Amino acid sequence: MAAMTISDLHKRFGPVNVLKGINLEIADGEFIVLVGPSGCGKSTLLNIIAGLEHQSDGTVEIGGRRMNGVAPKDRDIAMVFQSYALYPTMTVRENMSFGMECRGVARAQQGEAVTRVARLLQIEPLLDRKPGQLSGGQRQRVAMGRALVRDPVLFLFDEPLSNLDAKLRVEMRWEIKQLHARIGSTIVYVTHDQIEAMTMATRIAVMHQGEVQQFADPDTLYNRPANLFVARFMGAPP
Ligand code: ADP
Ligand code: MG
């Protein structure tokens, strides 16, 4: 079964058409990268998948279930934001538990989940610190940890590395790929960075002005771009 099917998805903000009929079918366990220039609609698409925005038209199905009208907390999804969105007054442990606390998960089970994920991401020594006492890379790991404790079927990342310096960005790419190999969840990862897309994705959707220009594996995109935009954006000679 498809992990996610997006059909004829449209989004208008007032008179502006931001998404103009997106169709994507994603298989279980894939690492999909949405790439495209700033303003092309990547975050809007991700927010609709997460249920944080409503589409104007079309459907999103996750695991065969239509998501129209399903609240974000009832979707089997976790999202990592560019800004990390950690709570500054809470410790790392509290940041990671907060979502479970809100959903009424028993304390013992919360503790187990935090321990398991902290070990996986090697952030156990940081559990009692607050976000202000962490480096950029550590904050990034905690933001991923907070998403991972949900054990979601689908992971959404919105430009998670763009606040990190170049060296750390390369390291974290590798870590996220490793993580994907270990947990096997389906990932939809947004970036405006072509190299990040080429190195991480099983398949890449190249977006431009609210439309998917091409959806293919990195090799095909590079060697057989569907049009001039894809060729230029992905860096292959036209
Ligand atoms: P990306 O993530 O690819 O940079 P976005 O999805 O954030 O692009 O934005 C796509 C377009 O939609 C942009 O032109 C942006 O200005 C517009 N947009 C996004 N959110 C809103 C909103 N809440 N109201 C009006 N316009 C919006
Ligand atoms: Mg964005």
What residues pack around ion ligand 2 (CB closer than 5 A)?
43
**Model's pTM, two decimal places?**
0.91
The answer to whether the Cα torsion of 128, 131, 132, 133 is positive or negative is: positive
Looking at residues 210-236, what average pLDDT do you find?
93
The answer to whether the Cα torsion of 189, 191, 196, 198 is positive or negative is: positive
The answer to whether the Cα torsion of 98, 104, 105, 108 is positive or negative is: positive
In this predicted model, what pLDDT tens digit does every residue of 15-52 receive, in sequence order? Answer: 999 999 999 999 999 999 999 999 999 999 999 999 99
The ligand minimizing its distance to the Cα of 210 is 1
Closest residue CA from atom 20 of ligand 1: 44
Closest residue CA from atom 19 of ligand 1: 44
pLDDT at 103: 84
Distance 188 CA to ligand 1 centre (A): 18
Q: What is the band of 137 on the pLDDT scale with cuts at 50, 70, 90? A: confident
Atom of ligand 1 nearest to the CA of 16: 26
Q: Name the residue of 12, 19, 44, 157 to mutate for ligand 1: max ligand atoms within 8 A of Cβ.
A: 44
Q: Residues of the chain with pLDDT > 90: what percent?
A: 70
Cβ < 6 Å from ligand 1: which residues? Answer: 13, 18, 36, 38-44
In this predicted model, what pLDDT tens digit does every residue of 66-123 receive, in sequence order? Answer: 999 999 888 989 998 888 789 999 999 999 999 888 888 999 999 999 999 998 888 9
In this predicted model, what pLDDT tens digit does every residue of 165-202 receive, in sequence order? Answer: 888 888 889 888 988 998 889 999 999 999 999 999 99
Distance, in Å, from the CA atom of 160 to the CA atom of 141, rounded to the nearest integer, reads 10
Closest residue CA from atom 11 of ligand 1: 39
